Amino acid sequence: MSQIVKCDVCGKIYSQSYLGSHKRLSHGKRELLSGACKDDSVVLETILSLFERLPDERKRELLSRLAALEQTKL
């Protein structure tokens, strides 16, 4: 029988045999977005991939927020 363990990232409880898969699937991309990756092209591709998955309404909202953010920097 597998041991019950706690994920050190999110705190949820999983069987030890599944914990590695859980971390890879649920928390793997966070390193890329947290600045651990120095390659801007990889970060940009990840952002674009996430953007493409959004519903149209959320895409418009995000574009509006980005435009507003850009205006505050000018």
pLDDT in tens, the chain (74 residues): 679 999 888 889 999 999 989 888 888 765 555 555 567 787 788 889 889 999 999 999 999 999 999 888 76
Q: How many CB atoms lie within 10 A of CB 26?
A: 14
Same domain, 42 and 64: yes
pTM (two decimals)? 0.47
Number of domains, the chain: 2
Report CA-CA distances (Å) from 63 to 37, 51, 58: 24, 10, 9
Same domain, 47 and 14: no
In this structure, what token pair is assigned to residue 65?
Answer: 């927020």
Same domain, 17 and 48: no
Same domain, 42 and 74: yes
Instruction: State the Cα–Cα distance between residues 22 and 14, nearest whole angstrom.
Output: 8
Query: Structural domain of residue 66, as residue ranges?
Result: 37-74
**Segment holding 4, helix H or strand E:** strand 4-6
Same domain, 30 and 46: no
